[in-house]
Amino acid sequence: MSFKLYNTMSRTQEELVPLKDSHVRMYTCGPTVYNYAHIGNYRAYMFEDLLRRWLKYKGFAVTQVQNLTDVDDKTIRGSRETGLPLREYTQKYKEAFFEDLKTLNIEPAEFYPAATDCIPEMIAIIEKLFAKGLAYKSDDGSVYFPIDKFPEYGKLAHLDREGMRAGARVAQDEYDKENAADFALWKGYDKADGDVVWDSPWGKGRPGWHIECSAMSMKYLGESFDLHTGGVDNIFPHHEDEIAQSEGANGCLYSKYWMHCAHLQVDGKKMSKSLGNFYTLRQVLEKGFTGREIRYELIGTHYRQQLNFTFASLTANRAALARLDEFYTKVQETIGSETRSPKLETQNSELETRNSELETPLPDWAQTLAARFEEALDDDLNIAGGLGALFDGVHEGNKALPMDSKTALAVSNLWKKLDSVLGFLIPPAAEVPAELIEMANARVAAKKAKNFAEADRLRDAITAAGWTVQDTPAGPKLKKA
């Protein structure tokens, strides 16, 4: 089955056919590192993660580039307000971003270029544009792109060219469709930029936001690549301007497909820093929710539908995850009980290897689950359909319990495969607190010394802490009770 995606450019669903073989080269607009990213931003990165994981599940090779915008109007303002040098100011938020990705189990992209490391590439594109008559210098030392010289300007955002004001210029990075105008490729030095300045053939200054993404995508993916993604707010002006300057400079197609996710909302409004209605990931974690629970919430609504964020919904989702975990645990226990060994993990993985050699067929209900899941995700990442198939499958699977250990292993392998897409399906193994490990080891020592009273006391203490201890040939094993 082929994967169909909704291409913002054509406003229709199209089959994904990469430009080269089965290799998808994709670019995703990354965070502006002027603050901690909010969970609205993470909705966009989560959609891109699901997309990337689905492409890999389908057998495509994926090269993904996600940029870090570490110089723009907002980062400069932030560094000025805090009195920190730009690099130092943005470093903290870059690190926080990578920590957050881990918390949310978002797979890392292949490349994370920072804008400040790619200034020569930006200058090279602007030089090409000058050579083609697609750039001009203004009195203030800035360089602009003349949109009336690029007949296709407006093709992504579907702009009405008639309404555009010829010759008008816009210096800011962000503006709305009504103010479509010549946009800044290079911003002439302004005292307010402090020491954030680079030399260029047109004098001192800094790049505009849009040219940054053109330079960083081409540097790693070539002049033409397959897929460009972001939130819907990126369509105009950011992506429209990227197309104009990239296709203008290179004379070839920039990105074959464009995908954009709808916003995470709060009370009917886009979650955004400017409205002040945002939660950072850290704030949600502080309220006691886990990265896995937040992942489930952000991934569970189709990416082109708006999602209203509430803590009530996050809380309600706990029951859904618990249902999945309960089934998964029963399957694992079935595998373990039939092997009649206390050393569950080793036995399971040995059996799993044997199982994949023998390829025990999946029971009918699991085959139906897998087929429905794939059909749904192939349909423009229809996650609601995919999760529907999963929960229906769990319903049937529960009725099919108890199952024999080989069947349970086949189901367990399917779960692993589905989790390569979902990233929340397999419950994370609980981390054993260090003091409990010490107690378990002390108990072994006490038993060796035939001090059984002490060994029993330690077992009771471990039980009181909510854990069980099993003795195995490899040493004591602690499991959450």
> Is residue 213 close enough to count as binding Zn ion by CB under 5 A?
yes
C-beta of 301 vs 382, nearer to ligand AMP:
301
27: helix, strand or coil: strand
State the binding partner of 215 from Zn ion, ligand AMP, none, CB within 5 to 8 A by kind.
none
- Which among 28-36, 273-281, 385-393, 424-432 is the span making contact with Zn ion, rule CB under 5 A? 28-36
Where do we find the tokens 């199982």? 355
Question: Is the CB of 97 or the CB of 328 nearer to ligand AMP?
Answer: 97
Q: Does 29 bind Zn ion (CB under 5 A)?
A: yes
Q: How far is the CB of 472 from ligand AMP (least distance, A)?
A: 47
Q: Minimum CB separation from Zn ion for residue 85, in Å?
A: 24
In the complex, residue closest to ligand AMP by CB: 231
226, 26 Cβ separation under 8 angstroms: yes
Q: Please, what's the largest Cα pairwise distance for the chain?
A: 92
156 binds Zn ion (CB under 5 A): no
208 binds, among Zn ion, ligand AMP, none (CB under 5 to 8 A by kind): none
Cβ atoms of residues 425 and 418 within 8 Å = yes
Applying CB under 6 A, does 216 fall inside the site for ligand AMP?
no
Considering the complex, state which of residue 220 and residue 278 has its C-beta at the smaller distance from ligand AMP.
Answer: 278
Structure tokens that stand for 408 in this block? 């349970």
Q: Smallest distance from the beta carbon of 381 to ligand AMP, in angstroms?
A: 15
> 51 and 106 in contact (C-beta within 8 Å)?
no
Task: Let me know the angle formed at the C-alpha of 40 by 38 and 41, rounded to the nearest 5 degrees.
Answer: 70
Instruction: Provide CB contacts within 8 A for 166, sequence distance 6+.
Output: 148
Number of residues in contact with Zn ion under rule CB under 5 A? 2
Find the binding residues for ligand AMP in span 227-286 (CB under 6 A): 230-231, 233-234, 261, 263-264, 270-272
CA distance 270 to 261: 12
- R_g over Cα of the chain: 27
CB nearer to Zn ion: give 69 or 334.
69
Helix axes 405-422, 364-378, angle to 10 degrees: 10
Cα dist from 154 to 148, 163, 229, 239, 242, whole Å: 10, 11, 17, 10, 11
The residue count for binding ligand AMP (CB under 6 A) is: 17
Enumerate residues 19-58 that contact ligand AMP by CB under 6 A.
29, 31-32, 40-41, 43-44
Report d(CA 63, CA 221) in Å as an integer: 8
CB of 47 to ligand AMP, least distance (A): 8
CA distances from 61 to 52, 230, 232, 304, 420 (A): 10, 20, 26, 24, 15
Q: Which residues here bind ligand AMP, judged by CB under 6 A?
A: 29, 31-32, 40-41, 43-44, 230-231, 233-234, 261, 263-264, 270-272
Q: Which residues here bind Zn ion, judged by CB under 5 A?
A: 29, 213
